[in-house]
């Protein structure tokens, strides 16, 4: 799994946005928005891991949060349904999937990229 900033932004994009007075959309602002949404504890726990780490597998997320893999998957789906993640499927372990991981992009609902 890979994580990119809000709408695929880079660190320099976020620095430019900060200088221009636009709302911050970095990992800290993203996590704050998730917390304000009052999602279930498991989703907030997964969001905390995604804030701090990138390139994790579903199993890694489950281990770091203490959730079962099914619980971590459900939390990711909740974050996506609430508009905090967009997912590009990688294919995973399925036959012909090539072993690629999903790529999750942090988004903040209601904020322009």
State the pLDDT at residue 54. Answer: 83
CA 86-57-11 angle, to 5 degrees, is 55
Tokens of 84: 């905090």
Listing DSSP states for the chain in one string gives -EEE-GGG--HHHHHHHHHHTPPP-SHHHHHHHHHHTT--HHHHHHHHHHHH--S--HHHHHHHHT--HHHHHHHHHHHHHTTSEEEE--BTTSTTSTTBPPEEEE--TT---
Segments of the chain with pLDDT less than 70 = 1-25, 91-99, 112-113
Torsion of CA 12, 14, 18, 20, to 10 degrees: 80
In degrees and rounded to multiples of 5, residue 24 shows phi and psi of: -65, 140
pTM equals: 0.71
**Domains of the chain as residue ranges with CATH:** 2-106 (1.10.10)
Residue 31 to residue 48: CA distance in whole angstroms: 7
Tokens of 67: 């959730």
Q: What is the pLDDT of residues 72-85, one digit of tens each?
A: 999 999 999 999 99
């Amino acid at each position: 799994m890979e994580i990119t900033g809000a709408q695929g932004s880079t660190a320099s994009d976020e620095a430019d946005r900060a200088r221009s007075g636009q709302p911050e959309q970095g990992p800290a602002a993203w996590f704050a928005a998730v917390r304000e949404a009052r999602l279930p504890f498991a989703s907030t726990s997964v969001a905390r891991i995604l804030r701090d780490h990138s390139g994790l597998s579903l199993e890694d997320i489950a281990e770091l949060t203490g959730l079962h893999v099914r619980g971590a998957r459900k939390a990711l789906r909740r974050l996506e349904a609430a508009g905090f993640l967009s997912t590009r499927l990688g294919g995973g372990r399925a036959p012909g999937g090539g072993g690629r991981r999903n790529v999750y992009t942090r988004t903040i609902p209601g904020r322009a990229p």
